[in-house]
């Protein structure tokens, strides 16, 4: 058996990284393409028949504003990449759940856009601090969002919110469309959040009553991560 | 001489807007569409010489639009473009009848040169006709 059997969460984490980085990279390329084209348009206008006209000046000014908006878009994408990269710095750290929700929503934005789903995030009304591995929680929420986005039907709107609950928090991923039974299987396969965080997914209301939402129960402090490979009696991948 | 009519299709609205403006400055009748659905709508409503089509778009993707163009508007030349090189998309696109496959960022002069070659494979005028 290979590492995928021993630590499925590691493989899952790498796949998550690859998925979101590829998406953000594509979005950044789009930003550069637009800026490139707008710069070309500015050159065209300057090279035109009446480059010093008031009309040309107005168009150049308007283009400068559009370029600035794209630069801001690129900076937001870059910040998401930066935050994602640093989410693996410390596997046991206190962090704000609202920040995590905003980051995961930005990471899932492209998936939602390609699926033509409006993805809306609401920060908790009051700050919720959790302690554990932020990367794993990020991944868990992301995969839950992707499952719900993939199941969107006619309404095509998914909302992500959270609230303090007992000694931890609840994250709600709500679809304006009824969730089909297939989502239950996808959610059941999301082991990583359970392994690392003791997080539990539930469906509300239970099938088949629509509409549906996923509730992710997360403790305030994650239990220690017990990777299967560290347990006594686990098969050694090297055969030793 | 008829004015060249080019339909530029990409889900990035600002990119479409800038390219269409640049085409107009060159005397080309450029029309922009930001989805496969919109592109097919324009093709039903009007005629075009060339369609420049992004492969990866929400909803109906570029390859699906290409298939529909082949069925309904076989006279239209299609040039595909993509953000990141994909040999598979290139191969599928060629098999489906795309005349060229360009990787973004697409330089406008290169695009117009490709359009010119598509419309005049034996060599033709400098304006793409």
pLDDT tier at A181 (50, 70, 90 boundaries)? confident
- What pLDDT, in 10s, does the model give residues A27-48? 999 999 999 999 999 988 888 7
Residue A4 has pLDDT above 50, yes or no: no
| Assigned token pair, B115 | 């359009």
Mean pLDDT value across residues A165-192: 81
Residue of A nearest to B10 (CA): A30
Task: Output the pLDDT for position B95.
Answer: 83
CATH topology of domain B5-118: Rossmann fold (3.40.50)
CA distance B117 to A173: 51
Q: Are B81 and B104 in contact (CB under 8 A)?
A: yes
Q: Whole-model pTM?
A: 0.79
Q: Are B79 and B115 in contact (CB under 8 A)?
A: yes
Residue A226 has pLDDT above 50, yes or no: no
Task: Output the pLDDT for position B83.
Answer: 74
Question: Pairing between strand A157-165 and A118-121?
Answer: parallel
- What pLDDT, in 10s, does the model give residues A134-157? 998 999 899 889 989 988 888 899
- What pLDDT, in 10s, does the model give residues A40-72? 999 888 887 565 677 888 888 889 999 999 999
CB contact set of B69 (below 8 Å; sequence gap of 6+): B43, B51, B76, B78
CB contact set of B103 (below 8 Å; sequence gap of 6+): B81, B82, B83, B84, B85
Residue A238 has pLDDT above 60, yes or no: no
* Neighboring chain B residues of A41 at a CB cutoff of 8 Å: 18, 21-22, 25
Q: How many residues does chain A have?
A: 240
Q: Are A42 and A63 in contact (CB under 8 A)?
A: yes
Q: Where are the domains of chain B?
A: 5-118
Residue A1 has pLDDT above 60, yes or no: no
DSSP A228: G
* Neighboring chain A residues of B56 at a CB cutoff of 8 Å: 26, 114
Interface contact B25-A48, CB threshold 8 A: yes
Q: Are A6 and A234 in contact (CB under 8 A)?
A: yes
Residues of A with CB under 8 A from a CB of B: 26, 29-30, 32-34, 36-38, 40-41, 44-45, 48, 66, 70, 113-116
Instruction: State whether ipTM is beyond 0.90.
Output: no
Mean pLDDT value across residues A212-233: 69
Task: Output the pLDDT for position A6.
Answer: 45
Task: Output the pLDDT for position B7.
Answer: 98
The stretches in chain B having pLDDT less than 50 are: 125-129
Q: Look at residues B22, B65, B29, B17 and name the one whose alpha carbon lies nearest to residue B44.
A: B65
- What pLDDT, in 10s, does the model give residues B3-25? 899 999 999 999 999 999 999 99
Q: What is the mean pLDDT of chain A?
A: 82
CA distance A213 to A5: 30
CA distance B76 to B2: 15
Whether residue B59 lies within 8 A of chain A, CB to CB, comes out as yes
Task: Output the pLDDT for position B126.
Answer: 43
Interface contact A40-B22, CB threshold 8 A: yes
Q: Look at residues A139, A188, A187 and name the one whose alpha carbon lies nearest to residue A14.
A: A139
A142 - beta bridge partners? none
> How far does A160 lie from chain B, in Å, by closest CA?
21
Whether residue B121 lies within 8 A of chain A, CB to CB, comes out as no
Task: Output the pLDDT for position B86.
Answer: 65
């Amino acid at each position: 058996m290979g590492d995928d059997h021993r630590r499925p969460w590691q493989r899952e984490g790498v796949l998550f990284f690859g998925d979101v980085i590829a998406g953000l990279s594509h979005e950044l390329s789009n930003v550069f393409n637009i800026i490139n084209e707008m710069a070309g348009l500015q050159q065209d206008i300057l090279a035109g028949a009446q480059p010093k006209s008031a009309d040309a000046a107005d168009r150049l000014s308007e283009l400068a504003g559009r370029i600035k908006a794209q630069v801001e878009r690129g900076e937001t994408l870059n910040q998401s990449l930066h935050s994602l990269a640093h989410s693996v710095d410390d596997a046991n750290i206190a962090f704000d759940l609202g920040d995590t929700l905003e980051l995961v929503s930005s990471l899932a934005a492209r998936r939602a856009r390609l699926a033509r789903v409006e993805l809306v995030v609401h920060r908790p009304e009051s700050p919720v601090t959790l302690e554990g591995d932020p990367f794993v929680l990020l991944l868990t929420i992301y995969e839950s969002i992707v499952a719900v986005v993939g199941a969107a039907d006619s309404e095509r709107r998914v909302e992500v919110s959270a609230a303090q609950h007992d000694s931890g928090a609840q994250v709600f991923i709500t679809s304006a469309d009824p969730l089909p039974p297939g989502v239950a299987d996808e959610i059941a396969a999301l082991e990583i959040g359970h392994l690392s965080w003791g997080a539990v997914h539930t469906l509300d209301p239970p099938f088949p009553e629509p509409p549906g939402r996923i509730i992710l129960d997360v403790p305030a402090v994650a239990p220690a991560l017990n990777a299967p490979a560290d347990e006594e009696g686990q098969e050694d991948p090297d055969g030793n | 001489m008829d004015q060249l009519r080019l339909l530029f299709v990409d889900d990035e609205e600002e990119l479409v807007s800038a390219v269409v403006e640049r085409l107009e400055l060159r005397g080309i009748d450029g029309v922009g569409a930001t989805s496969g659905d919109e592109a097919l709508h324009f093709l039903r409503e009007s005629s075009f010489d060339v369609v420049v089509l992004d492969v990866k778009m929400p909803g109906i993707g570029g390859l699906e639009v290409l298939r529909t163009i082949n069925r309904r508007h076989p006279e239209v030349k299609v040039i595909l473009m993509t953000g990141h090189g994909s040999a598979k998309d290139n191969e599928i696109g060629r098999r489906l009848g795309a005349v060229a496959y360009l990787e973004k960022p697409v330089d406008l002069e290169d695009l117009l040169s490709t359009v010119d070659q598509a419309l005049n494979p034996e060599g033709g005028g400098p304006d793409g006709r």
